[in-house]
Amino acid sequence: MPVPVRELELDLEAFEGPFDLLLALVLRDELDLGEVDVAGIVLAFLERLAEREELDLDACGEFLVLVAALLELKARALLTGEDGDLEDLDPAQAAEELARRLADYRRIKEAAAWLVDRLDEESDRYFRLGPAPLAPRVERRLAAQDPAELATALRALSAEPPAVSLAHLELRFPPVEQFLGRFRSLLARRTRFDFDTEVDGLTRVEQAVAFLALLELRKAGEIELSQASPFAPIRVRRNAETQTERTTTWTARSA
Amino acid sequence: MDRPLRLVAANPLDRLARTLEALLVVASQPLPVEELAEAAAEDAERVEMALGLLAERFQEGRSGIVLERVAGGWAFRASREAADACGRLFERPVERGLSQAAMETLAVVAYLGPCSRPEIARLRGVAADSVVAGLVERGLIAEAGREDGGAVRYRTTPLFERVFGLESLSVLPRLDDLGDAEDIRERLESLAEKRPA
């Protein structure tokens, strides 16, 4: 049974899954090749290969092609983007540039190795770490204070606040009597009048109270009301027969 | 006796040394000479002298506490012979499990910093994002402004110097002395020669 190159299971830092999927992701730009450890792929393949008794040349060939393509893509990704003129370099210059970069990386690797050694040597140095157990000194300049003053200040705060006025929320109703009197004196002079013209110019609330007065007079039988149609002017006529002198303390509020 | 009588009263430098000792024992990070001088209300030169006195007194083999010059200042630490005992009680979590990638990134930042993630990635040939984030979390590197392009730059922290026992970044070996650049060039050239024309 051949080694299935494309189904080779990979367990890398940046990717976990079959080789096939990795290639697909890279080609679709969904995985940054810079993140992929190509050496890890080679190791995984070699381990798989070692599990077999015989050398599978077909699989090796296919793998070699795929990895070479990956490496080429990765190398290109490293070289472009920084200097656009790299493509113009002749092979000798490109090799020089590559050698320079490899040397740079080599030095960094050496520096890292030096740091690792250093850490090894210094790991037996124990020291205090973490947030300072003592906060840096802050200068506080406060005059001597009298506790009684604090008490006074607090007492002022504990006093009951003045009650909030709700006056602005109240509707002010004029007394109904005011309109009763007004309409009666009007009817004393005339036998009929038009309600709408009479209350014209009053506020909405006053008009409402005036209407209540009208109803009151109607109830007492002092007047007769008529209206041609809804919203048409209300006509008021004196009822001459039953005139009563009844006074009322009826107000809108008591309704 | 031809030697002059030594005064029994404390030598003023000795007194300053005791003051510095006290300051260093309450500090949780290395204190630079200037800060010590300010706190002790003394001039830097005398503070240096007194520190020399202390360094002699608190040294490996003589004391369980050792005075060391580290991360641009002075700090007390445990003596190396007590390391095993300290290790049974404490960990050094900052450097626990630092990967090869982390060490290389740390080297780039220590030598070439402040530098940005793209610069680190270019040198190492591998994206540096997660490694950089890990080092920031450990407190070994920290943000240090931005490039013109807007990429955040990083530098190593005093904690890095302290963990690695560095007096300052200048005691790192010269980058040019590390790695044999010629070696690689020669290998590439010899490869090119072997290749059939």
Q: B75 and A133 in contact by Cβ < 8 A?
A: no
Residue B122 with chain A: CB contacts under 8 Å? 78, 82
- pLDDT-based confidence at B155, cuts 50/70/90? very high
Half-sphere exposure of residue A103, counting CA atoms within 13 Å on the CB side?
18
Distance from CA of B104 to the nearest CA of A (A): 5
Residues 77-116 in B contacting A (C-alpha not used; CB under 8 Å):
77-78, 80, 82-83, 86-87, 90, 92, 94-95, 98, 100, 103-104, 106-108, 110-111
Task: Give the model's pLDDT for residue A134.
Answer: 59
Per-residue confidence (pLDDT) for residue B40, from 0 to 100: 93
> Measured between alpha carbons, how far is B65 from B45 in angstroms, rounded to an integer?
24
φ/ψ of A225, rounded to 5, equals -115, 145
Average pLDDT over residues B148-163: 89
Highest mean pLDDT among A145-149, A187-191, B16-20: B16-20
Give the burial string for B113-139 (b: 16+ CB within 10 Å, else e). bbbbbebbbbbbebbbeebbebbeebe
3-class SS shares of chain A: helix, strand, coil, % to 5? 55, 5, 40
Q: What is the mean pLDDT of chain A?
A: 76
The residue assigned the tokens 């051949």 is A2
- B185 at interface of A, judged by CB pairs closer than 8 A: yes
Three-state DSSP at B152 gives strand
**pLDDT band (50, 70, 90) for residue B192:** low
Please state, in angstroms and rounded to a whole number, the distance separating the CA atoms of residues A186 and A195. Answer: 11
B38 vs A99: CA distance, rounded Å: 52
Closest listed residue to residue A32, CA positions, set B147, B130, B150: B130
Residue that has been written with the tokens 């189904």 in this structure: A7
Cβ atoms of A9 and A44 within 8 Å: the answer is: yes
Q: Closest chain B residue to A118 measured between Cα atoms?
A: B164
Hey, is B7 helix, strand or coil? Answer: coil
The amino acid at residue A39 is A
Provide the strand spans (E) within B47-149: 65-70, 73-78, 115-116, 141-146
Tell me the pairing of strands B65-70 and B73-78. antiparallel
Q: How confident is the model at residue A1 (pLDDT cuts 50, 70, 90)?
A: very low
Question: Cα-flanking dihedrals φ and ψ of residue B141, to 5°?
Answer: -130, 160
Handedness of CA B24, B26, B31, B37 (dihedral sign): negative
Q: Which of B26, B127, B175 sits opposite A111 (nearest CB)?
A: B175
CA distance B27 to B49: 20
Predicted pLDDT of residue B47: 95
ipTM of the complex: 0.77
Contact call for A111 and B178, based on CB within 8 A: yes
pLDDT in tens, A211-236: 999 898 888 888 888 888 888 888 88
Residue of A112, A129, A134 lying closest to B107 (CB–CB): A112
- Mean per-residue pLDDT for A188-196? 87
- Distance CA(B20)–CA(B47), nearest Å, equals 8
Residue B74 bridge partners (DSSP): B31, B69
Residue A205: pLDDT over 70: yes
Q: Tokens in use for A226?
A: 């008529």
CA distance B42 to B34: 10
How many CB atoms neighbour CB B33 within 10 A? Answer: 17
Least confident residue range of A57-71, A192-206, A220-234, B116-130: A57-71
Largest CA distance in chain A: 132
pLDDT tens for residues A63-95?
787 787 778 777 766 665 554 455 566 666 766
Q: Is the pLDDT of residue A187 over 80?
A: yes
Mutation to test the B interface, candidates A26, A127, A139, most B Cβ within 10 Å: A127
Residue B171 touches chain A, beta carbons under 8 Å: no
Phi, psi of A234, rounded to the nearest 5 degrees: -90, 125
Is pTM beyond 0.80? Reply is: no
